[in-house]
């Protein structure tokens, strides 16, 4: 038999959260940027981090800003390697 419990807060997984992206796309204004650090001691290379951020960026734009039902997809983010700060920087255009 299972016990029914009330008022238990929802547990959100690390990825695929319904409360938004792990990156601050929603809070960004034109001219803003953020840095995703690339740790040289891990298995993630620059290309893997750029790919991960790029996929998250595209998913955010497609689901929150320009759903497939609306024509006219616009490029509003740029992703660049920032080797001075050892990371990948995302710019809001």
pLDDT tens for each residue of 47-83: 899 999 999 888 888 777 765 555 555 668 899 999 8
Q: Tell me the percentage of the chain whose pLDDT exceeds 90.
A: 24
Buried b (16+ CB within 10 A) or exposed e, 49-61: bbeebeebbeebb
pTM of the full predicted structure?
A: 0.70
Q: Is the pLDDT of residue 37 over 80?
A: yes
The separation between CA 30 and the C-alpha centre of its own chain, rounded to angstroms, equals 17
């Amino acid at each position: 038999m299972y016990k029914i419990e009330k008022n238990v807060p929802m547990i959100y997984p690390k990825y695929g959260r319904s409360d938004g992206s792990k990156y601050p796309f929603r809070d960004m204004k034109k001219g803003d940027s953020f840095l995703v650090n690339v740790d040289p001691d891990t298995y993630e290379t620059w290309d893997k981090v750029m790919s991960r951020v790029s996929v998250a960026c595209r998913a955010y734009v497609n689901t929150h800003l320009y759903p497939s039902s609306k024509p006219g997809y616009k490029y509003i983010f740029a992703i660049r390697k920032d080797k001075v700060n050892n990371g990948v920087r995302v710019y809001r255009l």
